[in-house]
């Protein structure tokens, strides 16, 4: 585990973008696992700037997103498909046919989970998986539980997660109750994992995830078992380490 702490959010975002762009520079056909939410936005902004400076091209890259809300169309402004187009895909030269996000409106959601896992396995091992960290220790939408599923699956979102997501919706009743998420087993199959965490409100869960016992009650603690884990923290998030 390699933990790096930064004094400013700009420095952290530059470092995160540097890790991802460096992977693509070394392997133009890299397979990237991508995340959404507030944490990666600055990293994606830096990636776009790196692309605009002519330092990296994404035209041979394949991407797989961690998750998507159930019942929200890709065109909905709070879908993760929309998020990725807004913050990255529409601003770089990626082939959108090779940018995959689970379909939350599939007729058969269980079959969609199987299809998504098969698509990842047939494409190849993810070179680097970008992750954020939930307040309750979730990664993707893998919520704390007595047991965790390895493959892509449907999950009932925890109350803490729905509360955290409510700020993105105009009314509480609009907040999705379920999501499709890549399983912890698939996340851990990535060759490299990049965990990014910001803010004092995450300091306690950062300490628990990175130094506490490995338990499915804190899904992020399973990252301790990965041989190539890089953690980027701001000073506030890392204050209890």
| Candidates 112, 117, 127, 143; catalytic one | 143
Q: Is 93 a catalytic residue?
A: no
Q: Is 2 a catalytic residue?
A: no
Q: Is 153 a catalytic residue?
A: no
CA distances from 214 to 61, 118, 125, 184, 221 (A): 33, 28, 24, 13, 5
| Candidates 76, 136, 165, 217; catalytic one | 136
| Candidates 13, 65, 67, 153; catalytic one | 67
Q: Is 67 a catalytic residue?
A: yes
DSSP string, 135-149: TTS-BTTB---SS--
Query: What's the half-sphere exposure (Cβ side, CA atoms, 13 Å) at 81?
Result: 19
User: What is the rounded distance in angstroms from the CA atom of residue 147 to the CA atom of residue 78?
Assistant: 29
DSSP 8-class letter at 223 = G
| Candidates 87, 138, 153, 226; catalytic one | 138
CB 34 within 8 A of CB 66: yes
Q: What residues act catalytically?
A: 67, 136, 138, 143
């Amino acid at each position: 585990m390699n933990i790096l702490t930064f004094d400013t959010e700009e420095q952290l975002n530059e470092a995160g973008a540097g890790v991802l762009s460096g992977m693509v520079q070394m392997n133009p056909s890299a397979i990237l696992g991508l995340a959404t939410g507030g944490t990666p936005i600055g990293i994606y902004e830096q990636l776009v700037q790196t692309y605009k400076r002519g330092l990296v091209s994404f035209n041979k890259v394949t991407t797989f997103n961690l998750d998507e809300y159930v019942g929200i169309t890709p065109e909905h402004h709070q879908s993760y498909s929309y998020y990725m187009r807004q913050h990255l895909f529409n601003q770089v030269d990626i082939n959108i046919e090779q940018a995959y996000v689970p379909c939350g409106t599939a007729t058969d959601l269980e079959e969609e989970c199987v299809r998504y896992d098969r698509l990842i396995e047939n494409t190849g091992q993810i070179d680097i998986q970008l992750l954020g960290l939930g307040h309750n220790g979730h990664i993707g939408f893998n919520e704390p539980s007595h047991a965790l599923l390895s493959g892509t699956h449907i999950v009932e979102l925890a109350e803490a997660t729905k509360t955290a997501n409510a700020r993105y919706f105009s009314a509480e009743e609009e907040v999705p109750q379920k999501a499709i998420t890549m399983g912890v087993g698939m996340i851990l199959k990535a060759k490299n994992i990049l965990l990014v965490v910001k803010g004092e409100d995450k300091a306690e869960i950062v300490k628990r995830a990175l130094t506490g016992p490995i338990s499915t009650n804190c899904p992020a603690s399973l990252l301790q078992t990965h041989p190539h884990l890089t953690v980027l923290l701001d000073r506030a998030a890392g204050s209890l380490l």
